[in-house]
Structure 1
Amino acid sequence: MDASLATGIASLAIQLFSGSLSSYRALVTAFTQDISLEILRCKLELEEQRFMLWGDASRISQEQLGFPGAHIASILNSLQAISNLISEARTLAERNAVHLATQETATNVPSNESRSVQVASSVTRTARWVLDDKARLESIIRDLKDFNDSLNSLLYHNDRLELGKSFQKVCIETLSTETQRKLEILEQSNLEDYRDLAFMAALRRAGLQLEGLNTGEQVDLGLRSSDGTSGFEARWIIDVPELHSRAPGDTMLCVNGESLHLEWKKLPDVGSPARHRVIQRLQFLMNILGKSPKPADFCVLDLRGFAVHPDQAYVALAYSIPPTVVADSRFSLQELLTLKELRKAYRPPLEGRVRLALRLCRCVLMLHTAGWLHKAIRPSNVMFFPPEYGASIGALDSAYLIGFESAREDELAFTSDTVFTETLSTETEWQYYEHPLRQGEQKRKFSKVFDIYSLGLVLLDIALWNPFTASLEGVEPTKAKSFVLKHLLQGEVAFRVGSIYEDVIRQCITGNLYNVRGVTKNWREVAFWNNVIQKLELCNA
């Protein structure tokens, strides 16, 4: 291609991108005054973010062209189409804005104070868009998404991957809001196009609703009346006749031909306020873990309902098992690392172990982004459901995080409320996975930092492919942290899985990934993304 022609094409592409980006911003600003367009504005903002990130990934925002030359014609056509679509959308907005001004003049423009109240309380006082205009605007935003998808597909492979990571980071930042209305809009606006973000918005909003319960606010959880004795809603009770002849503790039952995984929890006395609070939160957990489909990164089982033991003192959280799984093929990470038969059958390469670590980290990140804590991250709560016993290929990709009987929203993790954490665990080594500040008589309130600490020790087990507790003979659980830092993270892990992986473990255990200036409560997930997820992905490159 002639040099002058190439320069002219590059200049045109840069001009189209810059003009479209400015128009995007102007259009989003124009929509902020119309409540009836909240959902469309949210979609438009996301497409603006994607367009801007594409500009960075393609380096066109730096007035360079970082994509294959063969795609220049397609990119120019897409940029021109985007420019035309945004111009049409602005025309629609301006036409309907005039209608808004006329309407306000006819009804006497109220004062700023009263106007803000009216706008917040009634959609009828905002611009009434012509039905055809609004339908066309929806179509334009769908077209903008399609063109963004096309532009992304024309990037170099590595740039395309980086763009995807950047957009994920934007989503994490977006979900850091504590405004339920914004989350509700995210949940509604992305139901079709961005299911993962919509799911996380719903999860985050659920946590904020339960936070409202704790502060005494009137919160509608969408719960119906209970079935009477147990206190649970009848629609979520699973009848298991076999429980009448068994003590609580079984972890697998077959109900109507379906295999269910069970997690048991002791309940407070019937009729007590404590029982009511526990049931309320378990049922709200049902609203979250029962949602389907889930994002691929949120590797948790579908919660089907609750099996209450006949004595009313225990309840089992009943989860569906993946349909391709043979019931007796499941095993935990703890069993995988300790049972000779399993250790012999499953000897994954380094990349397989890194994928497993990433799968668990992404799941915990999604849980924390939603404002929830797991509170029991340890090898026995990482369960594998391979298609058949001994099938090593892909087995580590079938890992699920279980043990949600103690989970709760971040703001309600009170150390004094022991009824929320009493389970039927019979493990003798689980204390080693608890942070030292969570042990002894003066326990600290549980926080995300303690979940990350436990996750770091699970990552250590995966790195060693052996329980780290095997090296702790004679070491008290409260001393485990210092022992690991002094003896196991001084080159041994780096020798096995590399220095980047070792540094990730160290940051999780010490909590240093949050000890950065400017990292506030709502930005901790971004810090986790940068210092854990991104670094582990380097190990898997």
Structure 2
Amino acid sequence: MSGVEPFAVTSLILQLLSGCLCGIQTISHMKGTKDEVRSAVLMLKLEEYRLTTWSLRSGASDGLLHSGLDENLVHRTLRHLKSLIGDTKTLCSSYGLAVQDSQPVPATTSIATGITRGRTFPTFLSKKIRTISVSGVRSQITWVLQDKSKFDRLLAIMRSLIDVLHQGLGDINFDTMREDIGFLRLQMVNLADKIDDVRSVTQAIEINEGLDSDACTCAVVKALRIGMETTLPMTTNGTTSSPILPESMQTIAPLRPRLLTSFSGNNRRGFANYDGSPVFVEWKRIVADETVARGLRIERQVATLATLLSIEKGPTFRSLRCLGSFEDTANFRYGFVYTLPNQSQSRVVSLFDLFYDSAFKASLTMRLELAQNLAITLLHIHTAGWLHKGIRSSNVLFFSNGSPASLDQPYLMGYDFSRFDGENEVSEKPVPNSEEDLYRHPSAHPAAPSRYRKEFDVYSFGLVLMEIAKWKPLKHIAKDFIGRSGCTPDSLEQMKKTFLEPISNKVMDDLGFRAGSIYTQVVMSCLGSLSLNMSNENADWGYREDLQEAFVEKVVKPLLSCSI
């Protein structure tokens, strides 16, 4: 290859790349058993996305490789990949496919076609990736999937070859692409509406990342959430079973209140022992005169939420694992019982409390890392189909035996009003509380008529980001906007408009001075531009796609890009 002119080399690479993508697209129209095909096509399309992402970052999609890349390695890798997916005989004999029909047809394929359009696969990739058309003639083969295990071997080889291309771009580009693909997997979980779709996404994630990944955790929670929206029969041993969920994803039985002893805390939360082991308890108060029907729905909602919170989570999903819930009828409340991060820890402090701790000095590096951790946690909560409904600094907790040495182990708690993001769910209105209402979007105030939506969580998160940067509680930042009348929808609306004022904005100017322009723009996005479709009460598929993508692109990625 050393004697070939650079343009000729890259033209050959462009042809090989086009052949690879054309072959992938042909195979992706395979037929066969519905569930197996769904999973196989999803995994195949993930590899297509990884290849198209590489083509953009390497310059191959422009017909000219970036300097520093090994053209010989790129050529050999693409040639191997093209021959792998273009060899009909080998695909049939070794990789579980069979040919049903074959005929040559003219076709226009494209580089960077993204993921198949449809409700199972995200459409946003098609909009994000630039397209380069390559005309030609290809064989329109109708493939049939006969052996999924053999086809998985083909995918594994494809994945390893595309890994070689990614690694050739260097550590920074490689890490960035891995991050992008991680967000893609979360988006697929977010958009999966049916249990079969979630299972297919879970299988694809398991093959690529393993069951311990955060995306897989979100997929499992999403599957459980979808399954529990149906009426599930009770088995003879008292546990809930469902034909559409694996046995490991069943609802957990209510805890026994008499086993909870030695509670020490307040009417919100505290430490206790459950059946002899140290635990953490959070309380959910209920209205004493609830109707029977509504009370039963809230009881079911509490049990369901406890089950969702009981699933083991990855290290970036910053929430305690719930052991279960119980009803404290004498005090009109439910208790959520959680395991402790470490059973020797006996002290908890909230972010709100730390603002008043003059002895605790939080560096800008520590505060930025805290903001990043919380952003990813909120992304996971929304991906799994939850609404938190209580994001504020008093619900960001740190556990220790004494004062926390850093902010790198936060836990987002306060799920007492959390629920599924579904039209049929009970949307409880909290009792008005000025300190808590201050963090609510004006349309999420207890006196407002709107049902709660994800963008309200994003708005509250933006206010917490402001607190973290200024290292002071919101009530001091907003003291000029909230008068003696307390928090009303009107006063919250005035505060929101003031924070978003484009000219002579002292609050945001100070924020920029303390945390920089990128961080400030993230806060502005949370408070303003991410409030999509605010007049639309129905969170349809396209709306969820746009909101999640916007949160990743305007909040999560910019925060992760910040460094001190």
Within a 5 Å distance, the mapping from 1:319-358 to structure 2 comes to 319-323=338-342, 326-340=344-358, 344-349=359-364, 351-358=365-372
SS at match of 1:528: helix
**Matched ranges for 1:76-475 at <5 A:** 76-88=75-87, 91-92=90-91, 97-98=98-99, 133-174=147-188, 175-194=190-209, 195-209=213-227, 213=229, 218-220=230-232, 235-237=253-255, 241-243=259-261, 250-255=269-274, 258-267=277-286, 272-292=292-312, 294-309=313-328, 311=330, 313-323=332-342, 326-340=344-358, 344-349=359-364, 351-385=365-399, 389-392=402-405, 395-412=406-423, 417-418=428-429, 421=430, 429-439=435-445, 441-473=447-479, 475=483
Contact 1:374 1:407 (8 Å CA) reproduced: yes
Tell me the residue number matched to 2:132. none
CA distance in 1, matches of 2:260, 2:542: 51
Contact 1:513 1:531 in 2 (8 A): no
Q: Give the residue type in structure 1 aligned to 2:414.
A: G
Q: Percentage identity across aligned positions?
A: 22
Measure the CA separation in 2 of the matches of 1:330 and 1:73. Answer: 57
Q: Does the Cα contact within 8 Å between 1:501 and 1:535 map onto a contact in 2?
A: yes
Q: Does the Cα contact within 8 Å between 2:257 and 2:326 map onto a contact in 1?
A: yes
String of CA shifts for 1:281-305, please: whole Å, max 9, x gaps: 222223322222x243322111121
Q: CA deviation at 1:332?
A: 1.0
Q: Deviation of residue 243 (structure 1)?
A: 4.3
Q: Is 1:373–1:410's contact at 8 Å kept on the other side of the alignment? A: yes
Q: Secondary structure at the match of 1:338?
A: coil
Q: Which secondary structure state, in structure 2, belongs to the residue aligned with residue 441 of structure 1?
A: coil
CA distance in 2, matches of 1:134, 1:465: 54
- Which residue in 1 is equivalent to 2:52? 52
Question: Counterpart of 1:539?
Answer: 562
Counterparts of 2:547 and 2:33, CA distance in 1: 32
**1:11–1:361: structure 2 CA closer, same or farther, 3 Å change rule?**
same
Counterpart of 2:19 in structure 1 is: 19
| Structure 2 residues without counterparts, runs of 5 or longer | 103-141, 240-249, 535-540
SS at 2:555's partner residue?
helix
Superposed displacement of residue 266, structure 1: 3.1
Take 1:223 and 1:437, find their aligned partners in 2: how far apart are those partners?
42
Q: Report whether the alignment pairs 1:529 with 2:552.
A: yes
How far apart, in 2, do the equivalents of 1:129 and 1:458 lie?
50
Shift of the 98–513 alpha-carbon distance from structure 1 to 2, 3 Å rule, reads same
**Counterparts of 2:233 and 2:204 in 1: how far apart (Å)?**
21
CA distance in 2, matches of 1:317, 1:25: 49
Q: Is the 8 A contact 1:51 1:148 kept in 2?
A: yes
* CA 1:415–1:30: 2 relative to 1, 3 Å: closer
TM-score of the superposed pair, with normalisation by structure 1: 0.78
Q: 2:487 aligns with which of 477, 481, 493?
A: 477
TM-score calculated relative to the size of structure 2: 0.75
**Take 1:296 and 1:11, find their aligned partners in 2: how far apart are those partners?**
44
Contact 1:67/1:154 (8 A) holds in 2: no
Q: Secondary structure at the match of 2:311?
A: coil
- Kindly report the root-mean-square deviation, in angstroms, between the aligned alpha carbons of the 2 structures: 3.8
Native 8 Å contact 2:252 2:303 kept in 1: no
Could you report, residue by residue, the CA deviation over 1:105-136 in whole angstroms, capped at 9, with x for unpaired residues? xxxxxxxxxxxxxxxxxxxxx99965xx5432
Retained in 1: the 8 A contact 2:259–2:274?
no
Deviates more, 1:164-173 or 1:240-249: 240-249
Q: Which amino acid aligns with 2:168?
A: L
Residue identity opposite 2:198 in structure 1: L
SS of match in other structure, 1:398: coil
Contact 2:387-2:420 at 8 Å conserved across structures = yes
- In structure 2, C-alpha distance between the alignment counterparts of 1:148 and 1:319, rounded to whole Å: 42
What one-letter code is carried by the residue in structure 1 that aligns with 2:280? H
Matched residue, 2:523: 505
